[in-house]
Amino acid sequence: MKKEKVYIANWKMNLNIEEELNWCAQNYDVILELPKNLNTKIVLCPSFLSIYPLTQMFKTTEINIGAQDCSTHNKGSFTGQICAESLNRLECNYCIIGHSERREYNKETDQDIFNKFEQLINHKISPILCFGETPKDNIEKRTLSIIEKQLDKIFTSIKTGLLNVPKYLTIYLAYEPLGSIGTGIIPDLNHLENIYTWLWKKIDLENLTNIKLIYGGSVNEKNIHFFKKIDLIDGFLIGTSSLNFTEFEKIVKL
Ligand code: PGA
């Protein structure tokens, strides 16, 4: 049987609440068909405000809703933050963390991202953990050591049992080279094969289970064929090309 592929739409802050709800309402029947025949999982990550109406809209369907971030804290006086517990109560079962835009604009550190990861695991939400090197790291041949550093604490904590990941919870690791996010430039096959082979070996060595390795960065209807041929990749985190429903549908179906 064909391996399952996951398609995660990351709308960032590109659509307002009305546009996010319309994206779903106007294409509702087609969206419901997407996960049916194609061994496909769909996760839509809207802004926080659309999470509740969308989990209601897609209740009892196979469409999943995810958040784009969560707090590092469990509860307390943290004005403006959203805790993982609330996401879980809304049946928002996925959450992106560590996106390069948050690392850059919100100065998030690997420790912050680890704390968010821990919150998500404790509240039974699948983390979609983003990581990746800058173009400069790549030119200076530091890619693997940068990635290793970004993943190190999380891997060690799972391996040593400090983080107790429930067996049914999948962890999505999203490799997103920074030079490819929103630029239209994608890595070559050789680069991707090296990275994913290294990642799978590491996952194997550390005895980690329930991990899916996905890719994000300028995925579109023109290049999706190239990516889908790479068996080491379990799915895609799609930004710009997920804003237009027809393009997203093509990426899933092509
Ligand atoms: P992009 O964004 O598809 O627009 O490159 C991907 C992402 O930032 O997750």
Index of the ligand 1 atom closest to the CA of residue 10? 9
Mutation test residue for ligand 1: of 6, 7, 10, the one with most atoms within 8 Å of CB = 10
- Ligand 1: which residue has its CA nearest to atom 1? 239
126 forms beta bridges with 94
- Summarize pLDDT for 130-170 with one digit per residue, the tens: 999 999 999 999 999 999 999 999 999 999 999 999 999 99
Name residues whose C-beta falls within 8 Å of residue 195's C-beta, 6 or more positions apart in sequence.
143, 144, 147, 175, 187
Say what the pTM is: 0.97
The C-alpha angle with vertex 251 and arms to 245 and 254, in degrees rounded to 5, equals 125
- Summarize pLDDT for 83-113 with one digit per residue, the tens: 999 999 999 999 999 999 999 999 999 999 9
CA distance 12 to 238: 10
CA distance 226 to 219: 10
Index of the ligand 1 atom closest to the CA of residue 238? 3
CA of residue 32 to ligand 1 center, whole Å: 23
C-beta separation of 225 from 254 below 8 A: yes
C-beta separation of 180 from 201 below 8 A: no
C-alpha torsion sign, points 206, 209, 210, 214: positive
